[in-house]
Amino acid sequence: MKSINLVAAGLGAVAGLLSMVFAGLVGLAILWLGARAGIGTGDTITWAVLAVALFGGEFVAGYVAGRLVPPFFARMHGAVAALAVYAVVASFSLVAGSPASPLTLAGFALVAAIIGHLAGAFGGRSRPDDQT
């Protein structure tokens, strides 16, 4: 039985976290420019930026992890990498005092696993230049 390639899952998680930080910074810059231009930005737009950053980071983590392993294992590694990204985000959120219930945390973990699974499948597709 093949075990999880920790290097692939770890690199996927790091790539996901970096892309999440980048997407968050771009989103915050857009919000700041909008505020400077006098465009009113509500909480809805701020939450949308954060959601895109989180779910995009989970997708990138799954894609990179799926890309680094054989296609048969891509979906599992994608889910593990996305869950690692979510674990980091949830840990920081809880330390910061988030009142999220355990059911909410479990629901978002399920969403992260699904996103990572799909992204891993997308990243692990057969490529024309594969020599296998």
Give dist(CA 59, CA 20) in Å, integer: 10
What tens digit of pLDDT does each residue of 10-53 get?
999 999 999 999 988 988 888 888 778 877 666 777 788 888 89
Separation of alpha carbons 86 and 57, rounded Å? 9
Calpha distance 121→79 (Å, rounded)? 10
pTM: 0.86
75-120: pLDDT as tens digits = 999 999 999 999 999 999 999 988 889 999 999 999 999 999 999 9
Instruction: Say how many C-beta atoms besides its own lie within 10 A of residue 11's C-beta.
Output: 17
